[in-house]
Amino acid sequence: MFLGMTPQVFGHTLISLVGIASGFVVAYGLLTAKRLDGWTSTFLWTTVMTSGTGFMLPADRILPSHIVGAISLPVLVIAFYARYRRHTGDSWRRIYVGAGMTALYLNVFVLVVQLFLKVPALNALAPTQAEPFAVAQGVVFLSFVGLSIAAVKRFRGAHLQTA
């Protein structure tokens, strides 16, 4: 299989990458006050599937990725509710943006962990996931905080366009 992955791990990885990529497209839509309905659906559903398939991967103990998945699923329920039941009306826009960006951040958080574990050059920099790993995760976190604040400001007050 691809890069020594089992079909199950390959499928999970592919779903995760589609979720992350579509999540960044949705984030762009939030920043430009466009709903991007198809991309939003793809992002939310693949992010749910990422957590679901992650729980099915073989593991002999609960891993940090399982904990992130357990946090992500309720956040996604909130995002789905805000987007599809409340139609991002009133304060639900901010809630939707916050939940969506949190779900995307959690996926990217796990991606960074996996990159440091699996990419030899990154693993050599931080074999115990110490300083370079912490710096990378800090940069990701601060980037998402800034992106989320901008998205809330721009998505909240603008007339929403359907793209």
Three-class SS state of 128: coil
Residues 75-97, mean pLDDT to the nearest whole number: 92
Residue with the larger pLDDT of the pair 131 and 160: 131
Position 89 scores a pLDDT of: 82
What does the pLDDT average to over 8-31? Answer: 96
pLDDT value, residue 130: 76
- The per-residue pLDDT for 1 is 56
| Domain boundaries along the sequence of the chain | 2-157
157 pLDDT higher than 60: no
pLDDT of residue 123: 84
Mean of all residue pLDDT scores within the chain: 90
**Dihedral sign of CA atoms 92, 95, 101, 105 in order:** negative
